[in-house]
Amino acid sequence: MAEKTRTPNPRYKPKKTQKKPQSHWFRNTIVMIFIACSFVLFCLLGYFDYNVRQKFEGKRWAIPARVYANPVELFAGQNLTPESFLELLQHLNYRQDKQLKSEGSYLVEDQQIMLRTRAFDFWDQREFSKLLTVNFGETGITSIVNPVDEEVAIVRMDPVQIGSFYPAIKEDRILIKLEETPDILIKGLLASEDRDFYNHIGISFRGIARALMADLKAGGMVQGGSTITQQLAKNFYLTSERRVWRKIREILMALILEFRYSKHEILEAYLNEIYLGQDGASAVHGFGLASEFYFGASLRDLNLEQLATLVALVRGPSQYDPRRYPDRTLERRNLVLEEMANEQYITLKQADQAKQKPLLIMPRSRLAKNRYPGFLDLVKRQLKQEYHEKDLTSDGLRIFTTLDTQIQDALQKTLDAKIKQLEKSSRAKNLETAVVVTRRDSGEIAALASGREETASGFNRALDALRPIGSLVKPAVYLTALQYPNKYTITTRVSDSDITVNLPNGTTWSPKNYDHREHGNVSLMTALAKSFNLATVRIGLDVGVARTAKTLKEMGISREIDVFPSLLLGASSLTPIEVTQMYQTLAGDGFLTPIRAIRAVVADGGKQLQSYPFVVRQAVDPSATYLVNTMLQEVMHNGTGHSVYDEFPKDYGIVGKTGTTNDAKDSWFAGYTGDYLSVVWLGRDDNQPIGLTGSTGALPVWTALMKQISRQPVTLIPPENISTALVDPSNGLLANKACRGAKEFPYLTGSVPTAYSTCGQAVIEQDKNWFEDLFSE
């Protein structure tokens, strides 16, 4: 049967398949969003990866420079009391320990102090740890012996850290290497903070779940969910804000760290980066510094319970601050010990024994607090001549200085007591001061005070206070004159009488003596000893003001000096440290030794970058300097400085000079003993009169200080071209032994007087001083 063919209905139009453009648009949008997000994520990961690598592979930390005092050397015969030595050990953070098990420990028994010194890398060599017994007697150290009773000639102690130069962000750390870190510390961290550290990829889902369960059981936060890698990412790159975006960045950076670096590198960075406390304005980072901060000991010397305490701080240094919340810290430490036992890193017995031990935290931080800001200011200024600021605050330099902390402490105590005393006994109020102390033989600065109160932000008067120096300039005038031995000797007679000097501007200058009296013809020695202004001016005008200014330059003054007649009486202004340099040349017998505060600079790796060797050169005639020093000894015996011998033995040979400026606005004293030179200035910052002379103000301060620190008298050694002669001091002529009052005086060869005194009778031919003819009216 044939199939029928259907005739299409002309009215029928088949339906066309309808497209769904909305469905395609949605799918395309999703794809585009996915591509955009992938691109953003890719860029974000690239950005994070760049930041992670740049910091992790570059210079990770800005390590502040550490500044050390001059190391103390111990030897038999040293004048050091047990009390002073114990004070030094406290500065060095040594701990009492009957067994002397670790470095930096000591034990006191009667007149003995037994100690185990610390090993220390100095600029010139490494000092190894030693077990020693220091025996004391009435005069100081009698002997130093080792465990086999052999005498030790000299011991160099590790130096006191006196400060640091910090970068803008005040973070401090002592870098440690993973292989040098106590194994028990690593195990404590793994047990407490990240048990899966060596298995996860930067984040641990198992760790997060375990922490949540532990927190729920304890009803509070007892475990953290962040891995060590996440903690490193947070501390190293991010802030501590609690936001989702910060947590996402932490996770991404942790993944990148794990991808880029080994577990060894991550763990070592963590040990040095983790924040563990606050030392004033400075943040304590890393376990190396935290060990010193809390226990005053190196990390390698800590025991189990101390290491567990440091691990306990990781969870929150403020919350578990052992000085503020010891009970809370103890509880957290014991939990760390339990976790270590649970992981079988230690036995239960070890954990129980450690839990019974007290915290033994140092009662206060003993890290360097920049206790001597005036001296540190000087150190930094000297360093800036050779180093950039960034190098000083971020390269971990070790700077060894010349400061003696015991002298510096004695200086500050002396100023506190003496200034209060001076303000009570006189009309002086609001006194300020500056003091510089150097070692006479080397020019090294042993101590420096920038004011009566040492503050980091204060005005450093020792370096910056420009004040007229008054009679402190006079030794330069006499030193200049004595270089002309055919005209001037120590006993040459000069006129101390009124004088008027015509000045270039048409005015006149008429100086006066301090007592407003004239004293007739006097010897050079008397004129300087009594600080007579009129005689000094006559001498200075004769040899030339410019020549005196040249002598000041030769003595170490680099500042421009105004060549006016008033220079002869100290109208020119200098800073205390410049005066110190001037008198250092006198103390050096005419040889210029630049005063210095730094001995060496050592890089973080131990390489010596800079040394500051002893430098000396002849600046002025040693023979003339010897004569001036002899005259300055007379100043102290029979002149303006005689009160010093109320405290010192008469044969101590002190060399010094007082100085007072107009209206008693400044009180100065500069002088030296056999071992130290000190310059003292007293005055007011507003330049008002203080009513104190050099003798009544600065000298008592100098005397009180030097009595504590000086152990050597002055012995002046005459040069070969100096000879002595017996002279009648009343006229400067030769005398014999029968001449009453005759004294031995030193002279340059060829300048000894030739005429003889009649000793007690009128001199046959009275010496007529040529100055009188020159200035007679």
Q: pLDDT tier at 549 (50, 70, 90 boundaries)?
A: very high
333-357 pLDDT, tens digit per residue, is 999 999 999 999 999 999 999 999 9
Most confident of 30-34, 161-165, 675-679: 675-679
Q: pLDDT tier at 368 (50, 70, 90 boundaries)?
A: low
What span, in angstroms and rounded, lies between the C-alpha atoms of 71 and 158?
A: 6
The residue length of the chain stands at: 777
Examine the pLDDT at 367 and tell me if it is beyond 70: no
Examine the pLDDT at 168 and tell me if it is beyond 80: no
Q: What is the mean pLDDT of the chain?
A: 86
Contact 116, 122 (CB under 8 A): no
Nearest to 234 by CA among 262, 181, 194, 273: 273
Examine the pLDDT at 36 and tell me if it is beyond 50: yes
What span, in angstroms and rounded, lies between the C-alpha atoms of 228 and 271?
A: 10
What span, in angstroms and rounded, lies between the C-alpha atoms of 212 and 235?
A: 22
Higher-pLDDT residue of 640 and 38 is 640
What's the whole-number mean pLDDT along residues 96-105?
A: 88
What's the whole-number mean pLDDT along residues 604-623?
A: 84
576-611 pLDDT, tens digit per residue, is 999 999 999 999 999 999 999 999 999 877 788 877
Q: Which amino acid makes up residue 560? A: E
CA triplet 101, 106, 108: central angle to 5 degrees?
130
Tell me, what's the pLDDT at 63?
A: 78
What span, in angstroms and rounded, lies between the C-alpha atoms of 171 and 148?
A: 45
What's the whole-number mean pLDDT along residues 158-187?
A: 84
| Catalytic residue status for 471 | yes
Nearest to 531 by CA among 637, 683, 657: 657
**H or E element in which residue 141 lies:** strand 140-145
**143, burial (CB in 10 Å: exposed 0-12, middle 13-18, buried 19+):** middle
Q: pLDDT tier at 400 (50, 70, 90 boundaries)?
A: very high
> Residues 103, 171, 193, 338: which is the catalytic one?
193
What span, in angstroms and rounded, lies between the C-alpha atoms of 86 and 108?
A: 9
Tell me, what's the pLDDT at 554?
A: 96
Q: Which two tokens stand for residue 544?
A: 């030339």
**H-helix segments, 274-425:** 287-295, 304-313, 326-342, 348-355, 373-383, 389-394, 405-425
**27, burial (CB in 10 Å: exposed 0-12, middle 13-18, buried 19+):** exposed
Examine the pLDDT at 210 and tell me if it is beyond 90: no
pTM listed for this prediction = 0.81
* pLDDT above 70: percentage of residues in the chain: 86
What's the whole-number mean pLDDT along residues 383-390?
A: 81
Examine the pLDDT at 316 and tell me if it is beyond 80: yes
Examine the pLDDT at 716 and tell me if it is beyond 90: yes
> Residues 204, 394, 471, 695: which is the catalytic one?
471
What span, in angstroms and rounded, lies between the C-alpha atoms of 344 and 300?
A: 22
CB atoms < 10 A from the CB of 545, how many? 21
Helix axes 183-193, 326-342, angle to 10 degrees: 90
Examine the pLDDT at 5 and tell me if it is beyond 90: no
| Torsional class of 40: left (φ above 0), alpha (ψ -120 to 50), beta (otherwise) | alpha
What span, in angstroms and rounded, lies between the C-alpha atoms of 624 and 722?
A: 9
Q: pLDDT tier at 246 (50, 70, 90 boundaries)?
A: low
Matching residue, tokens 């799918």:
27
What span, in angstroms and rounded, lies between the C-alpha atoms of 325 and 263?
A: 34
| Catalytic residue status for 143 | no
